[in-house]
Structure 1
């Protein structure tokens, strides 16, 4: 099995790669600059917005984990070009190469203006908080279209925050541990015929507000909890709008301004 990881030199890609390597699987890793080689990984330099680069990257691929794109707020033009047009380019290349399964990295910011509450369903309709959030909502819609039109299995993962440690107090609710990320994406790769799904990408945190039922239906089982880092957090707890909505401080950040 050959799995293409776009944006594989980024934070999430770097955390995932060693956790997804296994016998009988080849990871093909693509990023803007040639990623550092690891294990038996195949490494490529290229942009997700380049149709020729993506066509070459998709040759002989069985599944794609699409992480490539802007991971924070940016101008409308840059967000559309990289995240929306780039994802369309990836999906088109996958369709032409008959890739059967694509896992799309979405975000909690696709529903950033949903009010916080226990077990928010993973397939809640979009309420984006930024241009970045809009792009993730569009990515999910593109995934739905390519599943319905072409029969591709598409799993959209609304990632909370995937780092070695939770990024502050808000991260105690949103954290996806690196090991849980490996377990989650492994489930997305191996579950038989998932069709089109939207799931949350979070650990089973004590302060979790997101439903894990949809991810668990694919076989995901979280083993980590951000609460073990709670005593180390020194930043103030969110207040006002940031404490009311899923998107936290993104809900009041200036649109189109890198953060």
Structure 2
């Protein structure tokens, strides 16, 4: 059981949030769930608190009484600028400012591969490289990473920003053989990020024990994270089902995959 009395989990109805609920009281003795819509299948240790992340007053009320925050909420893919701005950028600020006002000292933040998507797949990078976002969505992730650093330096709020690779039930393409994060490993990484005695400001990569990798993930090892799953188990089947593709195609050349090949969202969706 967690040492935290109450933890806020945002994005609790999303794909990753739903999986994190399976951690039960390993997140907190009580877990306050938030999403845009009410969550009805509550466990005994859970309480529901629906909200819009762009609404500061609602976010502040949700944060009040919590010891830590697992911030998985927001727009999960590329979208129109206003959507990204409200959900991810304003929403991220609201989480951190509410945390400051209510004395929360630990946040685990769902960042993304798309914060560094334009690094070439031939490069091995760690959490200290300059960001290279591949989308407006990726820009929003870099913003909150910088927000997290600011709130650590100025106010002492610790954050583990987890740059999640590809968190799905199983890998489905060749890029996923490098970026895949299993649900089980995701739960472990978040639990470790919450329970580590000191994290300061840290960027870790959300990846399973894949033999191919873009990322030096020693920061996650400092947390005590030891992934149990590997995309290697799916390699033979994926190679049989998917072609190699053109190595000069931006979707293959860069670590962000298809986000790097897509045009500007506002142009493509007029």
Shorter-chain TM range is over 0.9
Cα deviation for residue 119 of structure 1 reads: 3.9
> Where do residues 1-259 of structure 1 align in structure 2 (5 Å cutoff)?
1=4, 2-22=6-26, 25-35=29-39, 36-117=41-122, 119-233=124-238, 234-239=241-246, 240=248, 241-256=250-265
Given the two structures, how large is their TM-score scaled by the length of structure 2? 0.91
Q: Is the CA contact 1:6–1:29 (under 8 Å) kept in the aligned structure 2? A: yes
Q: Is the CA contact 1:73–1:255 (under 8 Å) kept in the aligned structure 2? A: no
Summarize the Cα distance change of 1:76–1:20 in structure 2 as closer, same or farther, 3 Å threshold: same
* 1:85-139 deviation per Cα after TM superposition (whole angstroms, max 9, x unaligned): 1100111111111101011111001011111236421222111111111111111
Summarize the Cα distance change of 1:138–1:238 in structure 2 as closer, same or farther, 3 Å threshold: farther
Q: Is the CA contact 1:177–1:224 (under 8 Å) kept in the aligned structure 2? A: yes
Unaligned runs of 5+ in 2: none
Summarize the Cα distance change of 1:24–1:184 in structure 2 as closer, same or farther, 3 Å threshold: closer
User: Higher relative CO (CA 8 A, sep ≥ 6), structure 1 or 2?
Assistant: 1
Q: Secondary structure at the match of 2:9?
A: strand
Summarize the Cα distance change of 1:95–1:238 in structure 2 as closer, same or farther, 3 Å threshold: farther
Cα deviation for residue 232 of structure 1 reads: 3.2
Cα distance in 2, alignment partners of residues 237 and 189 from structure 1: 39
Q: How many residues align?
A: 259
Q: Secondary structure at the match of 1:229?
A: helix
Q: Is the CA contact 2:26–2:191 (under 8 Å) kept in the aligned structure 1? A: no
Given the two structures, how large is their TM-score scaled by the length of structure 1? 0.94
Summarize the Cα distance change of 1:238–1:5 in structure 2 as closer, same or farther, 3 Å threshold: farther
Summarize the Cα distance change of 1:227–1:7 in structure 2 as closer, same or farther, 3 Å threshold: same
* 1:136-155 deviation per Cα after TM superposition (whole angstroms, max 9, x unaligned): 11110011111111110111
Summarize the Cα distance change of 1:22–1:132 in structure 2 as closer, same or farther, 3 Å threshold: closer
Cα deviation for residue 226 of structure 1 reads: 0.9
Unaligned runs of 5+ in 1: none
* 1:217-252 deviation per Cα after TM superposition (whole angstroms, max 9, x unaligned): 111111110121223332334532222211111111
Q: Is the CA contact 1:76–1:131 (under 8 Å) kept in the aligned structure 2? A: yes
